[in-house]
Homo-oligomer: A and B are copies of this chain.
């Protein structure tokens, strides 16, 4: 008997037949003798609709009320899946964030889990119930509903798995695992059987929308074995059908580069001719942080006369207008340029550490294809570049080939 946490995303519970399909998968695990907790997202489209309602009322909203509204989708799915399991003769009950004391901080809209108190849930599990948990949501110490940000149900699942000391956390999604590149762009992309936590983390943060970044951070910290697999195909729970996220040492043969990812979620902002004084960067990024705007890539250049400096960085496209507002107020008179017409392309691989020339090969490949690089950032196991949006597909395909990732045949 294993203790399993299964997580099903929005497309996996898109409508009642999909929820019935999920119930079949859960039922198979229960009949296999396992104790099962299921974390569910809202039915596909529901959360978008709720966000649109909030925006229709006001662009600037009280995040506490926003959370109260957008959290309802997961509540509905959890109740409906509990009903579908009961129909199959499997005892099940739904759990909301506030019913299982998933206590978060007050950062509504992207709250972080501070503690989980699962005694009642554990008791229910031991009695033989399946726990059907509304993902994405928690409750603040003041008793207000909070949500964990887009993709937050992944984090709910990993957090519950950690708190229960589960044997495995299976993330069911609409892809068949983690790929060497987006299969919609690269026909010869391959599924990766095993990937290290660190690579998964880099991939999540550079735009491969398989797992929420925070959920991977939490999996690393709490050593939760995570598996990504498709809810639409394959046998249940077989790790042959998905990607297992594991410790680095478990991966025997490390390739130099394991995947090429791309993101069109970012926008570029440049501040021109700032006085090059100590503290100017701190002032720029401090004012953005105060407005809860996350900054990703950063480049600073001296201007030709060495007294002025240009600062370029990227933010989420959805944050760009807010960022420009903040900067115009804090740096009146400064020339500020911005562009949404950019894409971030990254090569990720834990093997990179022991090979030289990974970045060099990337730059050469892009140059050979006539693609200009606007910004570069690197980490130990990742190189990212910002390019013109229209070159995205060409860049991903040519890099996939250049690093020898293409599937044979």
What is A's interface to B at a CB cutoff of 8 Å? 16, 19-20, 50, 53-54, 56-58, 61-62, 64-69, 71-73, 75-76, 78-80, 82-84, 86-87, 93-94, 96, 98-99, 143-145
Contact = CB atoms under 8 A, between A and B. Distances in A.
Given A98-B98, A99-B143, A143-B99, A65 B83 contact: yes
Contacts of A56: 16
Given A66-B83, A68-B96, 4 more contacts: A65-B79, A68-B76, A69-B75, A72-B76
Contacts of A79: 54, 65-69
A87 B54 CA distance: 11
Contact of A65 (B54, B67, B82, B144): B82
Contacts of A58: 83-84, 86-87
A144 B71 CA distance: 17
At the interface, is chain A mostly helix, strand, loop or mixed?
A: helix
A293 to B, nearest CB: 22
Nearest to A77: B69
Contact of A57 (B61, B72, B78, B84): B84
Residue of A73, A83, A84 most packed against chain B (CB within 10 A):
A83
A56 B86 CA distance: 14
Nearest to A49: B76
A19 B84 CA distance: 34
29 contacts: A16-B53, A16-B56, A20-B57, A50-B76, A54-B79, A54-B80, A54-B83, A57-B83, A58-B83, A58-B84, A58-B86, A62-B82, A62-B83, A64-B93, A65-B79, A65-B82, A65-B83, A66-B79, A66-B83, A67-B79, A68-B75, A68-B78, A68-B82, A68-B94, A69-B75, A71-B75, A72-B73, A72-B76, A96-B145
Nearest 5 A/B pairs, CB to CB: A68-B79, A69-B79, A72-B72, A65-B79, A65-B82
Residue of A57, A58, A98 most packed against chain B (CB within 10 A):
A57
Contact of A16 (B57, B65, B67): B57
A72 B70 CA distance: 10
A95 to B, nearest CB: 9
A57 B87 contact: yes
Contacts of A19: 57
Contacts of A72: 72-73, 75-76
Contact of A76 (B62, B69, B82): B69
A98 B75 CA distance: 14
A68 B83 CA distance: 11
A159 to B, nearest CB: 20
Nearest to A134: B68
A73 B16 CA distance: 18
Contacts of A20: 57
Nearest to A84: B57
Given A58-B87, A65-B86, A86-B61, A80 B53 contact: yes
A109 B229 CA distance: 37
Contacts of A69: 75-76, 79-80, 83
Contacts of A57: 16, 19-20, 80, 83-84, 87
A143 to B, nearest CB: 6
